[in-house]
A and B are shown apart, each in its own frame.
Chain A
Amino acid sequence: MVHITFFLALAAILFCIGLYGVLTRRHLVIVLVCVELMLMAVSINLIAFSAIGPSAGIEGQVFTLFIISVAAAEVAVGLAILIALYRNRESIDVIKHDLLRW
């Protein structure tokens, strides 16, 4: 029996890689990819707990399926926004999009 800590450690590493990517990458597509990475880290957690957690069950896997489909939709929307943004500003560099600046 593999101990749950390995799954959680993997998920944590994945989450941190994703977070690091979101915070440091300038390319918007990479940022979106990193967001997906973070979602997957969460999904691994859910699956790990549903398989070998203290109250194992099917719910975790069901939720993961939901997350994957929502993430797909989210990426579709995200990419659409990205394209619209590119049309407007001719750039997908995160640094250049600072309309909220004071």
Chain B
Amino acid sequence: MIQNAWLIPVFPLIAFIILLFFGRYLKQKSAYVGITAMALSFILAVLVLFERIGGDTYTNTITWLTFGDSTISMGYEVTALNAMMLIVVTLVSLVVHIFSKEYMHEDDRINVFYSYLGLFSFSMLGLVLAPNILQLFIFWELVGLCSYLLVGFWFFKPEAAAAAKKAFLTTRIGDVGLLIGLVLLFTATGSFEYGEVFAAMEAGLLNGTISEALVTVIAICIFLGAVGKSAQFPLHVWLPDAMEGPTPVSALIHAATMVAAGVYLVGVMYPVFLASNTAMTVVAYTGAITAIFAATIALVNTDIKRILAYSTVSQLGLMILALGTVGYVAGLFHLMTHAFFKALLFLGAGSVIYGLHHRQDIRKMGGLWSRMKVTSITFLIGALAIAGVPPLAGFWSKELVLAAVWYEGDIFLFILAVLTSLLTAFYMFRLFFKAFTGEFRGDHEPHGENSKLMTMPLVVLATLAVVAGFVNTPFGFWLEGFLTEGLNVGYSAHGDAWLIFLSIGIAVAGIALAWAMYYKKSIPEDFLSSKFPGAHKVLLNKYYMDEFYQKAFVLPTVTIGKFFWEVDRSIIDGIVNFVGRSTRNSGRTFAKRHDGQLQTYGLVTIIGGLAVIAVAFVLGGYFG
């Protein structure tokens, strides 16, 4: 079955093609096409995973291009890491496909929506299965395109169109870095295949043909791609805005799969990063700063989706931090668990938004617990999981991340990671208490719990958010054995007992604080805004990052653009217009001579005749 792994991305591609041509006639039935394709992919992915667990890495490539001594191949590869990713992507995608059927049914472009979802699933699965970096890059760009299409799905809203543009352009900055990294890597090692690249690099480092500085540059360039895709500081600005897209899309692309592609990229290129201490430090610090940075913004935001978006940025920061501190398994384990519980939280938010007729402000919610039971319970499970309450999935992975950071030895990073975890627990429960408990503060009563079609996906994901962590607990590091088998990815830190208690303590403290502030109200809700209005304002304005980018990059670019437009308009167009205008004007001037006056014509004829005669005389030599 593992040799048929290439079929996994093909099913959604077929769905995409079918919907592309026949979607117009299928309309609401489009959902079935997409769901069927994803279900087939998921089943196949499960079979492939089981076969991979019992067997070996499977690679199948064909030669694509040959030039000089180099060949570029294309094909597919099933390693431990991408077998895991296949499950994550197909499962979340399937769940989102099912959820969207109800969520999007009022939209008469639902067929387009499903075709985009199919294209995205194809691209993401292709990215995961890629056996070389070049193929990964191709799919990497494809998922970026799908992200653009889906964020801008409601393109008639100006915010959505702007957000789509922003997402595309911001990630493009990272992609340029990635491309440069790939080219450097190819010139250094002469190959794109993972195995060959790593072997050539190791050999080159040993015999000195590849300098460590070059490896550092390559690693940082590749990391730039991850920074863009995984919304790391300072390129994180696109992800919160990407929430303008439909909520299922946010769950699939901007929480579980595409944004995790950056983490995945660092994961598959891990030997390159391990070879450079500088690069690892850059990775770790970027992750840590992003984690704390986004977590603080999430404290004050009031839009349910944006809080989750900042939470995603923060959690991705933790994964990157873990990878940067040699926590290979920790980072990827957190990637997997996060995919499940964050998709759950987003779909839960989608369910809430759908129930409240597309209102997203948590100040206008409240009291949803009694009105939307299933959504509330599953959302609570998701919130507990992300806060890191045992024995839910988030606890095991976050504890591993903290352990990785602790054993790296940088106390500053460790403090940041701990603080982030504390803030995560706090803002998630701030969101939970504000939206689901207390009095209903909205103006439009929800119509009760949504249909089974929307709640079943939540239940599935909630189950996973509970159990997904059990694959790697202190009682059995099964996932770690699976992922690191036959790989040299450094050591893996296992948490000591005190770390486990610390992470439980953090989660409980965060939840308790939120409970005191937003449920019990023993601490006033406006504690921050009244005591530290300055800090509150900075957080509310997202540290003025957007304003800064606007002034520092967008405005100069626009100014330069306007300048060149002016040059083009006045000088280039001026020349063209001058040629045209002078032709026209000379035509007009001569046309004036054509005045219909017989005598003018006669005069001209006589002068002309005389001139001809004069010329004939001169040339004919009559005047000596």
Q: Do A and B bind each other?
A: yes
Q: Which residues of A contact B (CB under 8 A)?
A: 19, 22-24, 94-95, 97-102
> A98 to B597, Cβ gap below 8 A?
yes
Please indicate the chain B residues that have their CB under 8 angstroms from the CB of A22 in the complex: 599, 602
Please indicate the chain A residues that have their CB under 8 angstroms from the CB of B594 in the complex: 101-102
Docked pose: A13 CA to B595 CA in angstroms? 30
Q: Is B615 an interface residue (CB 8 A)?
A: no
Docked pose: A101 CA to B606 CA in angstroms? 20
CB distance from A48 to the nearest CB of B (A): 21
> What are 26 sample pairs from A and B whose C-beta atoms fall under 8 A apart?
A19-B606, A22-B599, A22-B602, A23-B599, A23-B602, A23-B603, A23-B606, A24-B599, A94-B597, A94-B598, A94-B599, A95-B597, A97-B596, A97-B598, A98-B595, A98-B596, A98-B597, A99-B596, A100-B596, A101-B594, A101-B595, A101-B596, A102-B591, A102-B594, A102-B595, A102-B596
**Total number of A-B contacts with CB less than 8 angstroms?**
26
Please indicate the chain B residues that have their CB under 8 angstroms from the CB of A19 in the complex: 606
CB distance from B608 to the nearest CB of A (A): 13
Please indicate the chain A residues that have their CB under 8 angstroms from the CB of B603 in the complex: 23
For the A-B complex with A23-B602, A100-B596, A102-B595 known, give 15 more contacts whose Cβ atoms are closer than 8 Å.
A19-B606, A22-B599, A22-B602, A23-B599, A23-B603, A24-B599, A94-B597, A94-B599, A95-B597, A98-B596, A98-B597, A99-B596, A101-B595, A102-B594, A102-B596
Please indicate the chain A residues that have their CB under 8 angstroms from the CB of B597 in the complex: 94-95, 98
Docked pose: A100 CA to B595 CA in angstroms? 8
Bitwise interface map of B from 590 to 614 toward A, beta carbon under 8 Å scored 1, else 0: 0100111111001100100000000
Docked pose: A97 CA to B600 CA in angstroms? 12
CB distance from A13 to the nearest CB of B (A): 16
CB distance from A37 to the nearest CB of B (A): 15
Bitwise interface map of B from 570 to 599 toward A, beta carbon under 8 Å scored 1, else 0: 000000000000000000000100111111
Question: Which residue of chain A has the shortest Cβ distance to B591 in the bound complex?
Answer: A102
Q: Which 8 A-B pairs have the closest CB atoms?
A: A101-B596, A98-B596, A100-B596, A102-B594, A23-B599, A23-B603, A102-B591, A23-B602
Please indicate the chain A residues that have their CB under 8 angstroms from the CB of B599 in the complex: 22-24, 94
Please indicate the chain B residues that have their CB under 8 angstroms from the CB of A98 in the complex: 595-597
CB distance from A49 to the nearest CB of B (A): 20
Docked pose: A97 CA to B599 CA in angstroms? 11
Docked pose: A19 CA to B591 CA in angstroms? 25
Docked pose: A94 CA to B591 CA in angstroms? 20
Please indicate the chain B residues that have their CB under 8 angstroms from the CB of A101 in the complex: 594-596
Please indicate the chain B residues that have their CB under 8 angstroms from the CB of A94 in the complex: 597-599
Question: Which residue of chain B has the shortest Cβ distance to A95 in the bound complex?
Answer: B597
CB distance from B220 to the nearest CB of A (A): 72
Docked pose: A97 CA to B601 CA in angstroms? 13
Docked pose: A101 CA to B595 CA in angstroms? 5
CB distance from A65 to the nearest CB of B (A): 28
Question: Which residue of chain B has the shortest Cβ distance to A26 in the bound complex?
Answer: B599
CB distance from A20 to the nearest CB of B (A): 10
Please indicate the chain B residues that have their CB under 8 angstroms from the CB of A95 in the complex: 597
Docked pose: A22 CA to B599 CA in angstroms? 7
Docked pose: A24 CA to B591 CA in angstroms? 22
Question: Which residue of chain A has the shortest Cβ distance to B594 in the bound complex?
Answer: A102
CB distance from A82 to the nearest CB of B (A): 13
Docked pose: A95 CA to B596 CA in angstroms? 9
Please indicate the chain A residues that have their CB under 8 angstroms from the CB of B595 in the complex: 98, 101-102
Question: Which residue of chain A has the shortest Cβ distance to B592 in the bound complex?
Answer: A102
Docked pose: A99 CA to B597 CA in angstroms? 9
CB distance from A56 to the nearest CB of B (A): 26
Docked pose: A95 CA to B598 CA in angstroms? 8
Please indicate the chain A residues that have their CB under 8 angstroms from the CB of B591 in the complex: 102
CB distance from B103 to the nearest CB of A (A): 70
Docked pose: A90 CA to B595 CA in angstroms? 21
CB distance from A7 to the nearest CB of B (A): 22
CB distance from A32 to the nearest CB of B (A): 12
Docked pose: A102 CA to B599 CA in angstroms? 16
Docked pose: A35 CA to B596 CA in angstroms? 20
CB distance from B252 to the nearest CB of A (A): 70
Question: Which residue of chain A has the shortest Cβ distance to B590 in the bound complex?
Answer: A102
Question: Which residue of chain A has the shortest Cβ distance to B603 in the bound complex?
Answer: A23
Question: Which residue of chain B has the shortest Cβ distance to A19 in the bound complex?
Answer: B606
Question: Which residue of chain A has the shortest Cβ distance to B605 in the bound complex?
Answer: A23
CB distance from B300 to the nearest CB of A (A): 76
CB distance from A64 to the nearest CB of B (A): 24
Docked pose: A22 CA to B603 CA in angstroms? 9
CB distance from A97 to the nearest CB of B (A): 7
Docked pose: A102 CA to B594 CA in angstroms? 6
CB distance from B597 to the nearest CB of A (A): 6
Question: Which residue of chain B has the shortest Cβ distance to A100 in the bound complex?
Answer: B596
Please indicate the chain B residues that have their CB under 8 angstroms from the CB of A99 in the complex: 596
Docked pose: A24 CA to B600 CA in angstroms? 9
CB distance from B129 to the nearest CB of A (A): 74
CB distance from B488 to the nearest CB of A (A): 89
Docked pose: A102 CA to B595 CA in angstroms? 7
Please indicate the chain A residues that have their CB under 8 angstroms from the CB of B598 in the complex: 94, 97
